Amino acid sequence: QVQLVESGGGVVQPGRSLRLSCAASGFTFSNYGMHWVRQAPGKGLEWVAIIWYDGSNKYYADSVKGRFTISRDNSKNTLYLQMNSLRAEDTAAYYCARGTAERATALDVWGQGTTVTVSS
Amino acid sequence: QTVVTQEPSLTVSPGGTVTLTCASSTGAVTSGYYPNWFQQKPGQTPRALIYSTSNKHSWTPARFSGSLLGGKAALTLSGVQPEDEAEYYCLLYYGGAQNWLFGGGTKLTVL
């Protein structure tokens, strides 16, 4: 079945870096755009970034632009989120989601999430 | 700064009908915003319900429907069930900025 599994979360000090991974299975990963979405504790959902199916285009929320980098390895069916210069406000559960339909605008399948805590 | 606005909370009786809306501070929401709707229950991952305004996923119950209503995206639940009690989020696509924005969520209580 179609599945996304995130990993790489943890506790990190402010200013440090962390890389999240999202392993995809059950579908042709290289045919889909992929998103990262986060949710701070007790808060709503926040869209973070998208990468096109072939990695040719990447777009970010203003809150993470210049600090986070989305990437993918289609040979490994894996999506990544490199997070640098982490701040307390980046503390959240991070979900990867598959983008389908026109312009990958339909986020249909979601992973279970991985939790990032930024704290000294 | 663009803001997507949803009703903070709504209450509906079992078997009733309720409509949740999603507005953009930039103006009327059109099909070009490709509205999505998601359901999230406490402690669970968001579940996709509607995409591109009114299209249902294969797992979306028939009682959920999406539309455009008065310049907003709308999610209507007809014949509400107790298990529909959840937080509902809309998501809009801003093609000019290649940006997606979630609404703040609507907490739906079935009472």
How does pLDDT run across B44-58, given as a tens digit for each residue? 999 999 999 999 999
The closest CB to that of B46, out of A50, A106, A110, belongs to A110
- Cα–Cα–Cα angle for A86, A90, A94, nearest 5°? 115
Q: Using the beta-carbon criterion (under 8 Å), do A103 and B34 form an inter-chain contact? A: yes
- What's the distance, CA B13 to chain centroid? 19
Find where tokens 């490199």 sit. A82
pLDDT in tens, A1-34: 999 999 999 999 999 999 999 999 999 999 999 9
Greatest alpha-carbon pair distance for chain A in Å reads: 42
Q: Do B45 and A105 touch (CB under 8 A)?
A: no
Looking at CA atoms only, how far is residue B105 from chain A in angstroms?
6
B contact set with A (CB within 8 A): 34, 36, 38, 40, 45-48, 51-52, 55, 57, 87, 89, 91, 93, 95, 98-105
Provide the pLDDT for residue B87: 98
Q: How far apart, in Å, are the Cα atoms of A25 and each of A1, A3, A29, A43, A98?
A: 7, 5, 7, 29, 11
Q: Kindly state the average pLDDT of the residues B10-35.
A: 97
* B102 in Cβ contact with B89 (< 8 Å): yes
pLDDT digits (tens, 9 = 90+) for A44-84: 999 999 999 999 999 999 999 999 999 999 999 999 999 99
CA distance B1 to A116: 26
Distance (Å, rounded) from C-alpha A20 to C-alpha B59?
28
